[in-house]
Chain A
């Protein structure tokens, strides 16, 4: 890694950019949610104030609970979500292929992304279970049940854009299953065969629901249901540990929103690749377009949260297996069918 790459990784579009965007997403989410509920909403810097205030507070370890795990797991959670966020292609970084890629990009990285999403569920389960609190244990159990229920619809819905782009990315090259490649070639593939958009739209809707469940966002927040479990698996964490978990969750929201943008909305692609040749200007435009698309996705997810009430865990599992999974399979079959007819 050259020094310029290291600098980019730390600043824009690297860790600093991701953390600032995570705080911004937090504010945007709360603001849209508040406006949907006829409230005023927090001031712009409120998420930053929250994090700063939490770091100044005492972080209590309950009697009989392992300090090691209560320290390691939040750090691991934060690191996992940051790793995931660094995989999202934001701007041109790879000179060889000429497409926007994340900092950590390698062949078949879409499977690695799936693994990171699953490890969110696992880490949340362990974070809840080590605290030996009935609320936390109930919440952790619900969390893993929910994560496992939505795993298969998630994989199926992410498979749709991969299939649309084609096994080889473009017909001439070999298969790579890279996120950057999928986002760069998505619109071109749709242009070749416009019928494919049906499967893509269905998979997009499915993926928004699944991602809300993975984030434990409002209608699917029974693992940490405020009024019944007192924030569930989070209940024993305080101070800087809580701040780290909250920040990790927000970076997870950035990661998951960015994944939807990458796979379904063409990622940072501007559509002007043929006109603009200057890579610096292109990278700048890429960052702006990516941010705008991400804002749109997060705003839609936040607005959906205001519409319905919390879904009980048994209802969530029923929803995942009986409604979401069949629709995901239909989208997958439609895509395969149109692909076979079209090619």
Chain B
């Protein structure tokens, strides 16, 4: 960051408030082949080098938090996975743990139910990481790797589908336990598939570390040193690639993460390759956690679902979990009725934006897709709050009905929204 603090979250998009030294500006997003989701990056360039980069978010507010206030705690169990397309299970897991704590039944959850939840979480981490490094290879211009990794990702998706009925949205958890059991024959069917996937992920790791052309695109690119990382506070694999060994699963263990044998992966280099290797190693760790869970499930018995009352007693609680992208934080307030008073989600992508913009300073514009991808951006999770700050400085706070009414009117009479 420069001496004088300059906000990287922008509203002006014509480059008129650019930093000194930049001679032209490239806009990535909200519609760009790089971006699957809408975000607007303003890259200030001098030649082929980046001077600074800014971001504008807020294209994708879906009002999930507001919608949750109108539904019961039980209904919200099925709404909350929709906060994110990929990491649906971790949002559900954090939510049900929060609700169980408020209802006071967190000690009654059986070990078997916890193991099944953990399997869902780890399988999700595996398929999210494989998806991520496939897209990273695509961004670096290595389409072959994209197709190979996504082919192998089907293995874990088949397992999840076998266990839950859905591919990416297993929705196995309920307040008080889990919805479905994992019977022995399904577990036996999954074991050889997991072995096969471990072999494939080891092959992926070999490609990323030994293929010279892809390694050249990732090594020593977008370096975020440990000192810088401490200032811009990345979380999840972004931080672990920069030598910050923090993982919620180790720091404050939830479910049964303290009773399972696994290692915390972190690298000190801080470049994109380190971030990639963190995720590759984590995939292997998660796969061996999955195998351990399936082994333990054979000898573990217990009630799958504990009875819980519709009305959650008054109180508030703060729960967090380790999503594939980083630390997922939920805060919920219960008012004694069957609906939440207020619910707040802070998804990990938001916490990683500053670190990613920091990475870009002084890099080539050709490395932008790779660096932007490095924190696994997920903007449907990121947009939780809408701050309306137009050029005039006018601020408005809209509730859902007003927002919908204005949008319909703007569409109908073909006039601007505000």
Interface residues of B in 11-62 (CB under 8 A from A): 24-27, 32-34, 48
Proximity bits, A128-168, B CB within 8 Å = 1, else 0: 00000011001000000000000000000000000000000
Asked whether A138 lies within 8 Å of B147 as measured between CB atoms, the reply is no
Which of A33-41, A89-97, A329-337 lies on the face that meets chain B? A33-41
A36 touches B144 (CB 8 A): yes
Closest-by-CB residue of B relative to A226 is B33
- Given A39-B147, A134-B25, the answer on whether A309 and B211 have CB atoms closer than 8 Å is yes
| Interface pair B140/A310, CB less than 8 Å apart | yes
Within the assembled complex, what's the spacing in Å between the Cα atoms of A312 and B365? 10
B345-367 CB contact bits vs A (8 Å, 1 = yes)? 00000000000000000001111
Does B400 reach chain A (CB closer than 8 Å)?
no
Given the known A-B contacts A312-B364, A313-B366, are A228 and B147 also in contact in the complex, defined by CB atoms under 8 Å?
no
Contact (Cβ within 8 A) A38 B147: yes
Docked pose: A134 CA to B32 CA in angstroms: 13
- Which of B63-71, B212-220, B306-314 is found at the contact surface with chain A? B212-220
Would you give the shortest CB distance from B226 to chain A, in whole angstroms?
Answer: 26
Interface contact A312-B366, CB-CB below 8 Å: yes
A60 CB-CB contact with B under 8 Å: no
Interface size on A, residues (CB 8 A): 27
A313 to B364, CA, bound (A): 10
**How near does chain A come to B83, taking the closest CB pair, in angstroms?**
27
Q: Are A225 and B145 in contact (CB under 8 A)?
A: no
Contact between chains at A308 and B33 (CB < 8 Å): no
Q: Is A307 part of the binding interface, using a Cβ–Cβ cutoff of 8 Å?
A: yes
* Total number of residue pairs linking A and B with CB closer than 8 Å: 80
A134 engages B366 (CB within 8 Å): no
Please determine whether B148 and A37 come into contact, CB atoms closer than 8 angstroms: yes
Residues of B within 8 A of A107 (CB): none
Contacts of A222 in B (CB 8 A): 141, 366
Alpha-carbon distance A141/B26, docked complex (angstroms): 15
Q: Which residues of B contact A181 (CB under 8 A)?
A: none
Name the CB-closest residue of A to B137.
A309
Q: Could you tell me if A228 and B369 are in contact, using CB atoms closer than 8 angstroms?
A: yes
The answer to whether B368 has its CB under 8 Å from any CB of chain A is yes
B138 CB within 8 Å of chain A: yes
A72 to chain B, nearest CB (A): 26
Size of chain B's interface in residues, with CB distance under 8 A?
33
B139 CB-CB contact with A under 8 Å: yes
Q: Is A228 touching B211 in the complex (CB atoms < 8 A)?
A: no
In the complex, what distance in Å separates the CA atom of A309 from the CA atom of B139? 10
Q: Which residues of B contact A226 (CB under 8 A)?
A: 33
Judge whether B217 and A227 touch: CB under 8 Å.
no
B184 at the interface (CB under 8 A from A): no
- The reply on A230 being an interface residue by CB < 8 A is yes
Query: Which among A135, A218, A226, A310 has the highest number of chain B CB atoms within 10 Å?
Result: A310
CB distance from A44 to the nearest CB of B (A): 21
Q: Which of B142, B214, B365 contacts A228 (CB 8 A)?
A: B365
Provide the bound-state CA to CA distance between A222 and B368, in Å: 13
Contact of B141 among A37, A221, A230, A231 (CB under 8 A): A221
Q: Which of B212, B214, B369 contacts A227 (CB 8 A)?
A: B369
Given A219-B213, A226-B33, A228-B366: A309 and B26 within 8 A (CB)?
A: no
Decide yes or no: A225 and B147 within 8 Å by CB, A134-B26, A138-B365, A309-B213 being known contacts.
Answer: no
Q: Which of A36, A228, A308, A311 is B368 in contact with, Cβ under 8 Å?
A: A228
In the complex, chain A residues whose CB is within 8 Å of the CB of B143: 37, 218, 306
B144, B146, B217, B369 — most chain A CB neighbours (10 Å): B144
| Residues on the A chain within 8 Å of B137, using CB | 309
**Distance from B41 Cβ to chain A, minimum over Cβ atoms (Å):** 11
A203 shortest CB reach to chain B, Å: 23
Asked whether A315 and B369 contact (CB < 8 A) given A37-B148, A135-B26, A227-B138, the answer is no
Interface centre among A36, A39, A226, A231 (most CB of B within 10 A): A226
Tell whether, in the assembled complex, residue B48 and residue A310 are in contact, meaning their CB atoms are under 8 Å apart. Answer: no
Q: Do A310 and B364 form a contact, CB below 8 Å, given A134-B24, A227-B33, A230-B33?
A: no
Residue B151 is within 8 A (CB to CB) of chain A in the complex? yes
Q: Choose among A135, A231, A307, A312 the residue that contacts B367 (Cβ–Cβ < 8 A).
A: A312
Instruction: State A218–B143 Cα separation when bound (angstroms).
Output: 10
Chain B, 268-327, CB within 8 A of any chain A CB: none
Contacts of B26 in A (CB 8 A): 134-135, 138
Chain A positions within 8 Å of B151 at CB level: 38
Confirm or deny: A273 has a beta carbon within 8 angstroms of a beta carbon on chain B: no
Chain B's closest residue to A306 (CB) is B144
Is A50 on the interface with B (CB-CB < 8 A)?
no
Question: Which residues of chain A are near B24, meaning CB under 8 Å?
Answer: 134
Within the complex, the shortest CB–CB distance from A174 to chain B, in Å, comes to: 47
Q: What is the bound-complex CA distance between A38 and B137, given in angstroms?
A: 16
Known A-B contacts A38-B147, A225-B366; the reply to A310 vs B142 at CB < 8 A is yes
Q: A227-B139, A228-B365, A228-B366 are in contact. Are A310 and B217 (CB under 8 A)?
A: yes
- Report yes or no: A37 in contact with B144, Cβ–Cβ below 8 A: yes
A311 to B367, CA, bound (A): 11
**A315 touches which of B25, B146, B147, B216 (Cβ 8 Å):** B216
> Complex Cα distance A307/B140, Å?
13
Interface residues of A in 209-248 (CB under 8 A from B): 218-219, 221-222, 225-228, 230-231
Determine whether the beta carbon of A309 is less than 8 Å from that of B368: no
The CA of A134 and the CA of B28, in the complex, are separated in Å by 11
Chain B 138-178, CB within 8 Å of chain A: the 1/0 string? 11111111111001000000000000000000000000000
- List, sorted by A's number, 11 A–B pairs whose CB atoms are closer than 8 Å: A38-B148, A134-B25, A135-B26, A227-B141, A227-B369, A228-B139, A308-B214, A309-B213, A309-B217, A310-B142, A312-B364
Lowest 4 A-B CB distances belong to which pairs?
A310-B141, A309-B142, A308-B213, A37-B147
Binding site for B on A (CB under 8 A): 36-39, 134-135, 138, 218-219, 221-222, 225-228, 230-231, 306-315
